[in-house]
Structures are given as structure tokens and as C-alpha cells.
Amino acid sequence: MAAEIVNPRSDSATDGQSVPGSPDAAPADPAFHPAFALHRGGKMAIRATVPVRDKDDLSLAYTPGVATVCSAIAEQPDLVHDYTWKSQVVAVVTDGTAVLGLGDIGPEASLPVMEGKAILFKQFGGVDAVPLALATTDTDEIVETVVRLAPSFGGVNLEDISAPRCFEIERKLQERLDIPVFHDDQHGTAVVTLAALRNAARLTKRELGDLRAVISGAGAAGVAIAKFLLEAGIGDVAVADRKGVVSPDRGDLNEVKRELAMLTNRARLSGSLESALSGADVFIGVSGGTVPEPAIASMAPGAFVFAMANPTPEVHPDIARPYASVVATGRSDYPNQINNVLAFPGIFAGALQVRASRITEGMKIAAANALADVVGDELSADYVIPSPFDERVAPAVTAAVAAAARAEGVARR
């Protein structure tokens, strides 16, 4: 690799970013808010990994020496992985349509988030990442653009693209590219959720197959979590959107939700989210909004409540705790933070390490299991998922994903 991406202020990486409405948010005034000082000039830079000190260095790093390397790659294309940065760098691609809690703010306004994502890749997984904010929201244009840029990258991380377009974009890119394509808003969330759920079940001596879960939110994260939990063997999952439980008898479902209705809700529940929660073992919130206390109280004894909306959980942990054996949120100021940064750096590091052609369900389940195992004997109601700053996390996830890729035949080294 001739260059690497660095954080010019490497001690400033965080595990999350404030959004308007959070308790510690300050007015968006450059003279007042410390975030502006941190972001001035951007959060990233590129530096060379080889010196160019004299004409001999120059003749090797650039012309004429570089032509020898180019010719070798032209004859043996796989050499690009050995003699360029390709196998160590990921594209972080967005169209700015679903950014944090801000919604559709456009490509330029999304760049600080994409830079932040790239820093987390490097800080927690040792993976270089390049933010690419695209000035289009057209599905086919996004796909074509990424396909044309793909020769420069070892993987593609899709980020903050609104549903249901995100599902089609990911599917089409996976069909056309032979490098990993991963929509983190879907799969990163699902991996960390499964890891926390496995440990909650272990803590309370329950089996996943005996659990009934209800998910609030049928967007990118909700759909992916539902499918992933079923793949992992959970007993049943029902998903609710703003209009109630997603079920086959509803005539207002789009294609994604119709498919979801056929896969989930084996109990054939209908009606409101609150009614679906009655007797449920697990609540997973990824939609915002508020779940009333009586609905949480109606869940099965010792329920698991994962209220992951950020910055305001669907139900406050203090309200949920009397009715739940395990409570998790998306916030760092409460125990059990469900944070994607626990997953995506190690998942991509493992995939790139073995030059995987794609990220399979088995690789994601391996990541979730490895993440859950990091907790080990320290397991408690307030510790079912490790901290992003636990140095064991990324190596464990990386190794598990690489091994799973080899086992499933998608590794190329």
C-alpha cells in the first residue's frame, strides 16, 4: 500500500456522535459547540507509507519504476491486492438520505458522519476507509457509480441510505461485484443485537428457540434484525411499523414488507405494537417513538428490552428495569450499549484478511458469536455486550469472520 488514511487527531475518535435533541447537545454555533473545533479541516488525512526523499525514490514510487508494477498487474490482475492499497481499503458510500436522526440532509451534510465512520474503521479495525458521498438518490445511478469505483477498493460499506431503496442497492451491488458489500445500518445492528441477545439468554438460562421477539421498526435495521434472528434460530419474531404488526393480511405493504410478513409472525399476530408485546420475551426498538410502560409491563416475566433508538430510547431504561431482566439501549451513558462499532470494523477486517468475495450469513453469525464470547464469565445483567473500547473485540470478530469465510468457501487466500 503506497498510502494510508489517518486521523490527524487520532485521540479524538469516539463511539458515537451527538444529534440534535440529545441531552448534551448544544446550539449549532461554531463559536460555542466544541464539535466545530474538532471538525475544522475535516477529521481525516492521507499520508504516504513510503518516503520520496530523492530522485531514486521518485523513480521507484512513480515513473519509470511504477510502470513495471502496472505491467505486472495487467498480466496478473490478482497482483493488485499485493502491490496497491486495494485489499486494505473500504469505500464508505452514502447518498445522505437517512443520516443519524437527521433524515435526508444530502451528500455534503453527511460527510462529517462518513468521515467519522472511516475513523472508526481505522481506530477499531485497522481498516482504511474512504468516504464517498454521492450526489444522486437514484438507485440505478448509485449502483452504477459504485460498480465503476469498485476497482479501487477491497469492500463497500453502504451507509445512511434510506429504506426501502437500501435493500435494492445492496442486492444489486452484491450481484455485480466480487468484493464484500455490506449495509451496516442493516447488518451491523443485527450482529450486535444477536450477540447481546445470546448473552441475555445465557444469563437467564433460556434458549433462543424458546423466545418470541417483537421489533418496533420495519426499516433497514428492523428488517435485517428480524431476518437475522430467524437465521440464528429464535422461536418467532413479529415486526411492527407505524401502522401496526406487519402481517400478510395488510394491503398496504411494499415489496420488502410483504416478504417480511411471509417470513415472520408465525403466531399471526395483528393489531398494534402494544398488543403484540403482551407475553413477548424480547422487545427490540429501532424506530424511535414511545412505548408506554403498560406495554412493557405486559411482556413475559424477565423480558429483554433493547430500546435502541438514539438519542431517545423508545422506553427509558429506568421505566423498563422493573419488568425486564436485561435492558439495553443505543446510548453510551447506560449499560449494554448496542453499537455497530462493535461489529463492522472486525467484520471487514476479517473479510479483507482472507480476500473474501462476499460477507455471508455464516460470517455474520460467527461475528455475533465471537462478540458474545468476549463477555465470557463477566456476564451480568448490566454487561451482556462488551464496550467498543475493549481491545479484545476487533481481533475476536476478525478471526471468527476470517475462519467462517474459509469454511464457507468465499475466501480467496
394 and 307 assigned to the same domain = yes
Residue with cell 444522486: 136
* 68, three cell numbers: 513495471
**pTM (two decimals):** 0.90
Q: What is the mean pLDDT of the chain?
A: 92
**Which residues are identified as catalytic?**
62, 117
Residue 342 pLDDT exceeds 60: yes
207 and 319 assigned to the same domain = yes
351 and 274 assigned to the same domain = yes
Q: Residue 4: what pLDDT?
A: 61
367 and 383 assigned to the same domain = yes
**How would you class 376 by CB atoms within 10 Å of its CB: exposed for 0-12, middle for 13-18, buried for 19 or more?**
exposed
- CA 167, CA 258: separation in Å to the nearest integer? 14
Instruction: Provide mean pLDDT across the span 198-204.
Output: 98
DSSP for residue 37: H
Pairing of strands 244-245, 236-241: antiparallel
List C-alpha distances in Å: 380 to 303, 319, 383: 15, 19, 5
Domain stops at, among 112, 147, 179: 179
360 and 393 assigned to the same domain = yes
The number of domains in the chain is 2
209 and 249 assigned to the same domain = yes
118 and 166 assigned to the same domain = yes
277 and 192 assigned to the same domain = yes
169 and 276 assigned to the same domain = no
Q: Residue 290: what pLDDT?
A: 85
Residue 96, SS3 per DSSP: coil
Residue 395 forms part of a structural domain:
yes
Domain that holds residue 169: 3-49+85-179
18-49 pLDDT, tens digit each: 444 443 444 566 667 888 888 888 898 888 99
121-167 pLDDT, tens digit each: 999 999 999 999 999 999 999 999 999 999 999 999 999 999 999 99
Residue with cell 475544522: 40
- CA 295, CA 96: separation in Å to the nearest integer? 34
Instruction: Give the list of residues 6+ apart from residue 392 with CB closer than 8 angstroms, or none.
Output: 374, 386
Looking at residue 347, its amino acid is: I
- What angle in degrees, to the nearest 10, is found between the helix axes of 344-353 and 393-407? 40
CATH number at residue 164: 3.40.50.10380
68-118 pLDDT, tens digit each: 999 999 999 999 999 999 999 999 999 999 998 789 999 999 999 999 999
Residue 114, SS3 per DSSP: helix
Residue with cell 407505524: 242
95 and 196 assigned to the same domain = no
Length of the chain: 413
* 239, three cell numbers: 415486526
Spatial strand order in the sheet of 155-158: 128-133, 89-94, 155-158, 181-183
163-195 pLDDT, tens digit each: 999 999 999 999 999 999 999 999 999 999 999
Residue 65 forms part of a structural domain:
no
171 and 191 assigned to the same domain = no
Residue 337 pLDDT exceeds 70: yes
39 and 120 assigned to the same domain = yes
- CA 158, CA 369: separation in Å to the nearest integer? 23
Is residue 238 within 8 A of residue 214, CB to CB? The reply is: yes
